[in-house]
Amino acid sequence: MNLNQKLPARFFEFDSWIWEFSTLYKLPWKLIKAQVWQESGFDPNAVSSCGAVGLMQLMPETAKEMAQGAGGKEQGEIKLFDPETNLALGVNYDRWLFDRFPEIPNEEERMKFALAAYNGGRGYVNKAIEISYDCEFGCEIPPGHKGSAPGRWQTWCHTSAYLCSPYCVIKNLETGKTLKPDYRQILDYVDHIWEKYEFIRLQTLKVMNS
C-alpha cells in the first residue's frame, strides 16, 4: 500500500473505542483497526448483502451470542449500528476465535487463523488444519488437536493452501448438504487486513518521526 494514499474519511474517528476494546480483550489494536477498515471502511451504517451490520460487519446471530456471553443480550439485538456496541461485540468475537486455536503457538499466526475463521467460518479453518497435519505427518491430528506435533501446519501460509483442497468440506447439519469454502475470499481477507495492518504501523512511525 502507498503510504501517501488518501485515507478514508473516518479513519481516526473510532480509534479510542478500537483501542479500548482491543486492550480489554488483549489484541493488537492496530490490527483490529485494519480489520474494521477491511470490513466496513469505517462506515458504522454499512450493511452487506448477506445481512452483516456495522463497523465490524457482524451477523445479528453472532452478535447475540457475543452479547449473551458479555451479559448484554439486548444491546446485541438493537444497537449494532452503534459504533461502540458493534466494536465491543466484534472484538469480543475476535478474542473468542483467537482462543479457539491454542494449538497455534505464535500469536501473529494464530491471529491469521482467527481472522480466517471470522470471515469464512471456523469449520473450514479446522478442516484445513486437519488436512495440513495429515499431509505433513501421514496421520490424523489428535482429537481436539491436543498433543499434536509441531510443524508447518501451524503457519497460515502453509495451511491456508489446503482451503482449496477437495477434502476441505463441511456438512450442514440441518440440510445434510456438503459445503465448500470460498477459499479465495478467505485468503484475500487475511492478506488485505495484514496489508492494512502494516500500513497503519508504518503510518504511526511516519507520524512519530515527522
Query: Which residues have a catalytic role annotated?
Result: 39
Question: Nearest-5° angle of CA 109, CA 110, CA 112?
Answer: 65
Exposed / middle / buried, residue 26 (Cβ in 10 Å: 0-12, 13-18, 19+): exposed
CB 56 within 8 A of CB 86: yes
Gap between the Cα atoms of 41 and 56, Å rounded: 9
Enumerate residues 6+ apart whose C-beta is below 8 A from 208. none
Torsion angle of C-alpha atoms 124, 168, 188, 30, degrees rounded to 10: 30
